[in-house]
Structure 1
């Protein structure tokens, strides 16, 4: 514990390595001090050093493997921390967190795991965290089996039916898929309908009946949508580039359906509806766009620029119903279209962001989820420029949230797009740093506890950049004419504070 508590990250890793050996060879000793160990590991999972955070996740994995049901009493704390880590944009963290949770499902009491997963991630604001929770809850349900789930045991039947119904109506398709998959598992059993009536409210019951009818009509729920959707979008973009050299028709015909006259007419009609003066036509056009993305993805991808000429008008509409419908649709089609949205995201993102300032709570909360989903499914090199532009130019009601999203995107960009770091990310950071002029670094650090505020967001962006770039960040700042001596000193103090945290 003393080694793990050290300020030296290498010493921390040595301590964590020793702890893993103790867990494997002397599990009873660790069990006697279980709560203390868990609290220490939770802090290290949050560590800004990625090596330490990943080592802590690996240690939790060993605890589930060797301590098994002794971990039941600590599940609420541990699962919440692990799911929170799965919400980060770093793919390594997500993979480590999922591996850890799968090990947990295999070794602890299933009912306890179910309760902790629902409490820790089912209603999480971040779609990646909800997806991780949904996946693990599905794994738990597979192990429990339909008979146990439909036994009428309140802690199991009620929880599973309610959370799966929530997942089945979520925005991202993969979360919906896990919710539908749980119900698909239960569909052959006669007790399902009576249990649904008992445990679901009338609205949720009606919605689930429609979903189950759709599953029956399709003969199942199909494969997990995320990978196929992402690969479809990337394949389309690749073929577009190949086609530009003179073989466009041949490349398209080998990978997707030819756009028939009926499909072209369908696109013209829904675009016309989106541009109508009647808001009901707007809503109908938006709904048709979503159906097109779900049922004729290739046709939607080929026509995105044309469709978004109308869809962008809906995002900026004066009618709140139209804006809400547009935002919800955007949230749901991003995982389907993936990187194919590269051609339109620059024009759509500012319109999405402006809804952050809406007085309508439903509307104001959606842009954050949409941008999180975009970061997950769209190439970071495409998103960095519009997010940097918004971070510099948007109004003060919008900017703090956008800077937070830029901080979420920063690890992706730093790891895979070094030129974009130089061209877009660092110049934007220097501009934001200048907004802190006249404030000492300790004030900035204290402001990080606030839920909103530009100071807090800039502090979080600084942390993200320093975590990825280390001393290179200070070197770049020293050589930039955009960074004043006062701001450079402020940055140095802030980075020093981060090293001691």
Structure 2
């Protein structure tokens, strides 16, 4: 083989000599000499393209000299093609990126020179558009090299040559990469981005970092980026063109200052710490070692790094090491505060005896000996880090003399002794708060890593009249809809009693630590102000700005009670101080989104309720935040906790009622309508239907064309959803929109022709028979059901009943009732636990298709949802029986089966076409044949092509053969459609199969089936097939030409 005008036959053989590496290295040197002396204007463009493709194979050589010489050849080629490089630069970039990730400095220097040469002749952004695709490469060195290429380009060329917002979004995920060097390179690049963006125009950078923090569920990234920007030092390029970072990371074992900075902390530890300097790790080390003075200062890099879920909320028995410490000097110093330089300190005194089993972070557990009769000296609570000092300003309660009656309290295996003597606080000016009520050891239960008092519903724990109302009153301000009412008679059954105690624990928690106060009390240290607000208060704050800062500090705490208190502060601010909230609305929404995702159900529920309060109070001012907040709420629609699902529904209903309808529609459409979970799609569809009905059909379909098309396409897609609970709302909206006089014309404009008959049939059925299935079939998603035993009914169910009573006439009601009873009986049989009953259900369905097909067609979706499960179950005999019955059903129902093809086809192809059971395989093949005989094959082309692309084995071969049959039948009628769907499958198959295997494909293999599909296209398209392949990759064109020559 030779390349005309560039490589002779002898040189080609020398470059590809597999036995002698010296021949290859000498060949590369000769090739460099040829390129340097050659005038490429006389070489045909096709030869240049073939030569670039050939260089790609040379980069795969295992010999270093061949790789290095090939990179030099590429650089020479770029210099020679200087004025015509626009034609070839994409191919050259794709070849050059193949060399990225090399560990040798010489190679890295050379390919950096290649990219620098490229960007001197081509607009740098065009090159970077291709290079950024490698940021998701599995090799971390490749990702690091790509970031360095972008950094070098930004430092070399003017900022006007780059699309910086796009680069920010592409590079931002690398800030949270699992590899330290990638994080380091990305942080340096973001410093360059910040330098290139003008003051006041840095929103793209902030938005990109916010998205990573939300999507990756990490904290501290923004602090790291800001800390890196604050250094005001940019990376630079060395004389060899390599990037030299300005931020120097200490090597392992190297002694460094404890105050590394947020950016260095992030590079070293990434997302494994909460915020850039984690207070958790410091506290964990304190728990293990106590206060060891200077010993901890010598080990700044040996702190314990906590993984997710570890070291956050220690259980009482994990804290036993504190109680076992000797009472020496170190234990006396343990309660003292050690503030960091320049950080204000907010502390409150706490008596050693003022133990709080509910706040292990706010009080020190010190065991008092019975003989200790002197007054206890108060100690300041240890502040974990500078970040949380403001959150430690909560007053820690002192025990009153009432608590003498209980000298010992058992806390889940840990013994804590209360002193029986009266306690004195250090400062008489400080507020002395009521103590928590006594809790019996047998009434303590563990729930979500917190201790809750779970007594009987008939017996409440006695509370002092001066004690606060407790957290229950804080939750009452939500007024959640559908709140279940517990029974008033105490249950006698022990199991029922335990279950009710668990349910009551959701609504009944410990009393608060402090009284409700509307003013800010004076602290003792430095006369700093300390917040003593309590979430039970409902009035306005006197200093809302301080409360705002305090709420953020509380929410950042690891203690779930502190989080709830901070969220309640935000709720009161939304109720009484809208101006204060508006100044930091974006930050508030980011915090709430993070807490909505919390694994602690109580925290998540309160955060959802707070978002609903923001929707109600801020109204249109929340429009900018709708997309992110709605997405977070919809993702909670799959929660098993019924109270959270109710709060989500209430919050989204508040959004629909108070926010701008156009923004609500956009947020719901951009949210989770395409989510893989059917409950999320159903929740989004329910609230989208509500907002569409509120706007009205005339305003909806008379607006901008792009918005109208988007709404119609989303509604049509939801109306054909495979899940019944989501399909219900899609059909409800479709029926609502169909009342517009121009709806048919709009459907024809925005729906593809292949889908139009199905949609028109659905609309016609809805207009004729009403909502039918929609009105009577309750959704099956957990999120839409009435809670069992709660005595409540969801608003959705009530709405359906009202619509039936208002719009349904007596005959239609009778017909719907018969249909509902039919579906219920048949689905009961098909879903029975006894396989014989399931077989009876299949036989009943086949018999109904013969004797009463209209009833089956009206009940198509729920019936075949249940029938599909019989194709997927593990009983092989039942699988075979269902497949054989499906063949009969297709013959009987014919075209009506087109509505459920997308439900049944995956169950057939994915599970049975690769089966080793010969009867099952044959039955599945026969079902596909019957579908092709009885249905419009236009409907089968797209799903067959999709499955043929991603399946393997016999199933892939069979489906490629079926596609070839469909191509032969459909191309004369629908050439454009066939080329769009099936021709792309052919290019994919030719590109993924080896050339040698394609030519010598054995019978029954994938390559043999690919060849048959290629011949079918060639018989119909003739020379047009080769013309269509011009835009494909060279290996695809080569495989196609070889197949055609072989024919």
Q: What TM-score, normalized by structure 2, do the two folds share?
A: 0.25
Cα 1:104–1:361, aligned 2, differ >3 Å: closer, same or farther? farther
1:166 aligns with 2:717: yes
Q: What TM-score, normalized by structure 1, do the two folds share?
A: 0.51
1:46 to 597, 604, 607: 597
Q: Is the 8 A contact 2:724 2:862 kept in 1?
A: no
* Whole-Å separation in 1 of the counterparts to 2:746 and 2:901: 34
User: Which residue does the alignment assign to 1:223?
Assistant: 775
1:93 to 638, 644, 650: 644
User: Which residue does the alignment assign to 2:259?
Assistant: none
Q: Is the 8 A contact 2:554 2:565 kept in 1?
A: yes
Q: Is the 8 A contact 1:61 1:104 kept in 2?
A: yes
For residues 402-451 of structure 1, give each alpha carbon's deviation from its aligned partner in whole angstroms, at most 9, with x where no partner exists.
Answer: xxxxxxxxxxxxxxxxxxxxxxxxxxxxxxxxxxxxxxxxxxxxxxxxxx
Cα 1:256–1:135, aligned 2, differ >3 Å: closer, same or farther? closer
Q: Is the 8 A contact 1:311 1:326 kept in 2?
A: no
How far 1:189 sits from its partner (Å)? 2.2
User: Which residue does the alignment assign to 2:562?
Assistant: 11
Cα 1:266–1:78, aligned 2, differ >3 Å: closer, same or farther? closer
For residues 287-343 of structure 1, give each alpha carbon's deviation from its aligned partner in whole angstroms, at most 9, with x where no partner exists.
Answer: x89948927989x999x99998776337899x9xx9xx79925999xxxxxxxxxxx
1:328 aligns with 2:895: no
Gaps of 5+ in 2: 1-551, 789-819, 830-838, 891-899, 908-945, 953-1047
For residues 84-116 of structure 1, give each alpha carbon's deviation from its aligned partner in whole angstroms, at most 9, with x where no partner exists.
Answer: 111333333222212111111111111111011
Q: Is the 8 A contact 1:76 1:119 kept in 2?
A: yes
User: Which residue does the alignment assign to 1:147?
Assistant: 698
2:681 to 125, 130, 133: 130
Q: Is the 8 A contact 1:315 1:326 kept in 2?
A: no
* Whole-Å separation in 2 of the counterparts to 1:204 and 1:305: 28
* Whole-Å separation in 1 of the counterparts to 2:901 and 2:754: 22
For residues 134-175 of structure 1, give each alpha carbon's deviation from its aligned partner in whole angstroms, at most 9, with x where no partner exists.
Answer: 111101100110101110423531122111000010012232
2:749 to 182, 187, 198: 198
- Helix, strand or coil at the partner of 1:2: helix
Describe how 1:30-41 pairs up with structure 2 within 5 A.
Answer: 30-41=581-592
Q: Is the 8 A contact 1:22 1:30 kept in 2?
A: yes
1:102 aligns with 2:667: no
- Helix, strand or coil at the partner of 1:122: coil
1:312 to 879, 887, 896: 879
1:60 aligns with 2:616: no
* Whole-Å separation in 1 of the counterparts to 2:555 and 2:642: 25
Q: Is the 8 A contact 2:724 2:780 kept in 1?
A: no
Cα 1:89–1:203, aligned 2, differ >3 Å: closer, same or farther? farther
1:24 aligns with 2:575: yes
Q: Work out the number of aligned pairs and report it.
A: 298
- Helix, strand or coil at the partner of 2:755: helix
* Whole-Å separation in 2 of the counterparts to 1:327 and 1:157: 26
1:294 aligns with 2:845: no
* Whole-Å separation in 1 of the counterparts to 2:734 and 2:598: 38
1:268 aligns with 2:268: no
Q: Is the 8 A contact 1:271 1:307 kept in 2?
A: no
How far 1:196 sits from its partner (Å)? 1.1
Q: Is the 8 A contact 1:111 1:156 kept in 2?
A: no
Q: Which has the higher Rg, Structure 1 or Structure 2?
A: 2
1:76 aligns with 2:627: yes
* Whole-Å separation in 2 of the counterparts to 1:214 and 1:225: 16
* Whole-Å separation in 2 of the counterparts to 1:50 and 1:60: 15
Larger RCO, structures 1/2 (Cα 8 Å, 6+ apart): 1
For residues 273-293 of structure 1, give each alpha carbon's deviation from its aligned partner in whole angstroms, at most 9, with x where no partner exists.
Answer: 9xxxxxxxxxx99xx899489
How far 1:224 sits from its partner (Å)? 5.3
* Whole-Å separation in 1 of the counterparts to 2:684 and 2:825: 39
User: Which residue does the alignment assign to 1:210?
Assistant: 761
Gaps of 5+ in 1: 235-254, 274-283, 333-357, 365-501
How far 1:182 sits from its partner (Å)? 1.2
Q: Is the 8 A contact 1:64 1:104 kept in 2?
A: yes
How far 1:362 sits from its partner (Å)? 7.5
* Whole-Å separation in 1 of the counterparts to 2:647 and 2:590: 19
- Helix, strand or coil at the partner of 2:573: helix
How far 1:206 sits from its partner (Å)? 2.2
- Helix, strand or coil at the partner of 2:669: helix
